[in-house]
Chain A
Amino acid sequence: MLTADEFYLIVHNDSRGKPKLHSSAAGIGLAAALLGELVLFGQLTVSAGNVTVVDRRPPADALAHTVLDQLVGESQHQSVRTWLSFLGQSAATSVAERLARAGVLRRQENRRLLRTSVSYAPIDLNAVAWPATRLRALLDRPEPPTVPDALLLGLVSAAGLTREVLWSAGPRAHHRLSVLIPALPPPLKELVAHTEAAVGAAVLRGMP
């Protein structure tokens, strides 16, 4: 599963698909995960607060392809923070759609009086709960996690979800998490740092 998909499921690890994370932090985290996927594919890099496309060949995934096209098409915008804000507006919907295409979530239209709202409900509850379970187990194992897993852990921590994901984990797991993020490759480490800063800035602004 791709990073943003897992992040989405961790945030929506609930039988009714209700988010565990408030919308602005969830949007920022998902946007970071989408950028992170492109970094992991080797198509994007992050340094000094800016994103740079290094490989324009279309990625296999349709959503990643769309994001890359947007980054290429609007190259006048380079700031990571600008892209986190921009992608954050639509990331929840676009990642949910990707999960629906993959058969993990079911799109539901709820009609209430004059309004129609769309929600995404899990098809298999176990599949939805898996990423969080997997991350918990990962921190208890002695061998170091893979880069994508370390990125996912970093984003979970940056979004302020550590306690929710690691609720049953001991102090050793928390310690391992704290040394994991500084060990990320520099572009991903910076992406995680900007995610944490953007989530904090949203809190300080006070309003969504």
Chain B
Amino acid sequence: MPPTTATGRPSNVSDALARRRRGVPSVIFFVLSAAAPLTVVAGVVTTGYAVTGVTGMPLAFLVVGAVLALFSVGYVAMARRVKYAGSFYAYVSRGLGRPAGVGAAWVALLAYNALQVGLYGAIGAAATPVLERLLGVAPAWWVVALVAWALVAVLGLLRVDVNGMVLAVLLVAEIAVILVFDLGQLSHPAGGSVNLAAFSPDSLLVPGAGALLVLAMTGFVGFESSVVFSEESKDPRRTVPMATYLSVAIIAGLYALSSWAMTVAVGPERISARAGEQSVELIFNLAAAHLGDTALTIGQVLFMTSVPAAMISLHNTTARYAFALGRERVLPAAFGQTSPRTGSPRVASLAQSVLGLVVIVLYAVIGWDPVLQLFYYAACGGGFGVLLLIATTSIAVMAYFARTRAQESLWRRLIAPGLAAVALVAIITVAVDNFAILLGVAPDSVLRWAVPAAYPVAALVGVLWALVLRRSRPDVYARIGLGAESATLLAAQDFGGEPARVRAGSSR
């Protein structure tokens, strides 16, 4: 727990620890650098228009942003009170019990792995134009993907958490480029007039709305990481909530603006067809037409750096999930090991890298399309998984406050998370109904059910595993949801088996 600042006298301890604490801007930078905005705008938004054929994307970003802001009210309030606030499954364990917590952990592992691995499908498309222009070569997508994979695998092990300053500069540059592109698009409207149709509720009240909401959710993944700093922030009551709301607002605003600007430049009725022809190239082709070659090159280079930045960030997130579960012994204890020299979660990081390699090789050998069938499907599947996690967490927040009777306003402990839960369940219902449209497959396709059904199966396996642990290893069961803090339970526990003796005496 952070030391209170209530004491009037000066304290070396408080001062020394306060120097390392983070303020609002620092937490926002951390959250947004994981979001990699250009990857979302150039990759997710364009492919989404192409596949779903629905124009309500800008409104979808605003709706999801509003729901997540509502969700965050209870989420950050609970983050202050729990020891390990790093991940959704910890909240679910605390609120809905440990079996549900392990179920949520399995869902999270699946969803975050999908999101990370999916990015290997985008890197080829992101890097090829730049490589072609600079070096005159156009390697196969999987060559680029394997290079990126090696980079991520090595950086993950070395824990060169890409220098915060570098990420911040890239992030600011990405946002600047997106805004410049948006201005270019808005000043060259199709048909001569700026069209607000994409914001009208009609555009979202069509079959396929659920698909857009899942896609929009994908753009927000990463906003939940702000609470990692609950104990490391300058003012625990203000910093993290403020940073969370601002991050959600910035993401919602930026993506809504960009996806709308695209429809203005192309024309709402033509956006789907054009995005289908040009895929991730769409915004760059628009920029080339409006702003010239220099802007185009800068945009393409930043897209090429944005994708690996997102990969590294998601790789670390995923590895930390597995690490926390290894520390709890819910996954084998080896996952909780660190590499001494770098402090990276060695085994967890390697496991994530192996999965990435397998998927890249599989896609390369079979010859599936990397952008649509890897990047886009994984983004949809992962985004849907995160949506399920957030919905479950909002219910867990209400349950937690109901059970602990913590001093918290009615708005924070019940009304806001309750409204969020209702909205999220509604979104999930529509999304499941629209899953064929989301993936762009026939309504009777196997994928249409296989992707959403993977999560209930994972959750069920998790719940069963927790019940097995409760019977066979109660010491591990007690640790569920505590992450690295689970080590402190050791001190309180009686161990089975015969403890070793230690000699008395304290000198040698």
Chain A residues at the B interface, C-beta cutoff of 8 Å: 19-22, 24-25, 40-42, 49, 70, 74, 76-77, 79, 81-83, 85-86, 89, 143-150, 158-161, 163-164, 176, 179-186, 189-190, 193-194, 196-197, 199-208
Do residues B343 and A25 form an inter-chain contact, with CB atoms below 8 A?
yes
Do residues B488 and A197 form an inter-chain contact, with CB atoms below 8 A?
yes
Which residues of chain B from 463 to 503 have a CB within 8 Å of any chain A CB? 483-491, 495, 497-503
Which residues of chain B from 352 to 382 have a CB within 8 Å of any chain A CB? none
Do residues B505 and A77 form an inter-chain contact, with CB atoms below 8 A?
no
B contacts with A: majority SS: loop
Which residues of chain B from 318 to 352 have a CB within 8 Å of any chain A CB? 320, 323-324, 327, 336-338, 340-345
Which residues of chain B from 77 to 126 have a CB within 8 Å of any chain A CB? 84, 86
Q: A161 touches which one: B159, B316, B320, B340 (CB < 8 A)?
A: B340
Given the interface pairs A70-B12, A146-B508, A160-B337, the reply to whether A193 lies near B488 with Cβ below 8 Å is yes
| Residue B294 at the chain A interface, CB threshold 8 Å | no
Of the four ranges (under 10, 10 to 19, 20 to 34, 35 or more), the interface on chain B belongs to 35 or more
Do residues A147 and B505 form an inter-chain contact, with CB atoms below 8 A?
yes
Given the interface pairs A40-B506, A147-B503, A197-B485, the reply to whether A82 lies near B343 with Cβ below 8 Å is no
Listed residue (B86, B342, B488, B500) with the most chain A CB atoms within 10 angstroms of its CB: B500
Instruction: Output the nearest chain A residue to B504 by Cβ-Cβ distance.
Output: A147
Do residues A179 and B497 form an inter-chain contact, with CB atoms below 8 A?
yes
| Residue B13 at the chain A interface, CB threshold 8 Å | yes
Do residues B1 and A81 form an inter-chain contact, with CB atoms below 8 A?
yes
Q: Which residues of B contact A208 (CB under 8 A)?
A: 343
Q: In the complex, what's the smallest C-beta–C-beta distance from B112 to chain A, in angstroms?
A: 14
Instruction: Output the nearest chain B residue to A180 by Cβ-Cβ distance.
Output: B500
Number of A-B pairs, beta carbon distance below 8 Å: 155
| CA of A176 to CA of B497, assembled, Å | 12
Do residues B508 and A204 form an inter-chain contact, with CB atoms below 8 A?
no
Q: A86 touches which one: B16, B164, B338 (CB < 8 A)?
A: B16
Do residues A79 and B1 form an inter-chain contact, with CB atoms below 8 A?
yes
Q: A182 touches which one: B337, B342, B490 (CB < 8 A)?
A: B490
Q: A49 touches which one: B327, B338, B487, B488 (CB < 8 A)?
A: B488
| Residue B191 at the chain A interface, CB threshold 8 Å | no
Instruction: Output the nearest chain B residue to A74 by Cβ-Cβ distance.
Output: B13
Q: B483 touches which one: A19, A24, A74, A204 (CB < 8 A)?
A: A204
Q: A89 touches which one: B16, B336, B497 (CB < 8 A)?
A: B16
Which residues of chain B from 223 to 270 have a CB within 8 Å of any chain A CB? 228-229, 232
Do residues A200 and B327 form an inter-chain contact, with CB atoms below 8 A?
yes
| CA of A49 to CA of B316, assembled, Å | 29
| Residue B17 at the chain A interface, CB threshold 8 Å | yes
New A-B contacts (16) at CB < 8 Å, excluding given A194-B491, A201-B483 = A22-B340, A70-B13, A76-B3, A77-B13, A86-B17, A144-B502, A145-B502, A147-B504, A147-B505, A150-B502, A159-B340, A161-B340, A180-B502, A182-B490, A189-B490, A201-B84
Do residues B506 and A20 form an inter-chain contact, with CB atoms below 8 A?
no
Do residues A200 and B340 form an inter-chain contact, with CB atoms below 8 A?
no
